[in-house]
Amino acid sequence: EVQLVESGGGLVQPGRSLRLSCAASGFIFDDYAMHWVRQAPGKGLEWVSGISWNSGSTGYADSVEGRFTISRDNAKNSLYLQMSSLSPEDTAFYYCGKGLSAAIYGGTDHWGQGTLVTVSS
């Protein structure tokens, strides 16, 4: 069974940094692209970032480009999102998602339960 468990969320002050982690199990991690998607409370889904199976290709939403960095450690079956220069607009539930294939394109077929990031002074 595919399992994705996010961690690292919490309350952080504006301008500070935070690192999210996603522990994956139940599938061959390095066969698939991975994604981060977020959802502000009461709002719709926003794709944040994606990374191909071998980290050779990454992509970001315009809203986080230059502030967030996605990475993965295939030896540890883990996905990360380093977030910097956080603003209240980054407040959201952050979901880790497994891609449909090794490439970033194509969608996400399994999701974690999310971790809440609150940016506030």
Q: Where on the chain is the footprint of another protein (CB under 8 A)?
A: 35, 37, 44-47, 50, 59-62, 95, 100, 104-114
The nearer residue to another protein, 12 or 99, going by C-beta atoms, is: 99
Look at residue 90 and give its three-state secondary structure: helix
**Residue among 37 and 92 whose Cβ is closer to another protein:** 37
We find the least distance from the C-beta atom of residue 24 to another protein, in angstroms, to be 14
Structure tokens at 86: 């956080």
**Residue ranges of E strands in the chain:** 3-7, 10-12, 18-25, 34-39, 45-51, 58-60, 68-73, 78-83, 92-99, 108-111, 115-119
Which C-beta is closer to another protein: that of 15 or that of 106? 106
Minimum Å gap between C-beta 119 and another protein is 21
31: helix, strand or coil:
helix
Least Å distance, CB 13 to another protein, is 27
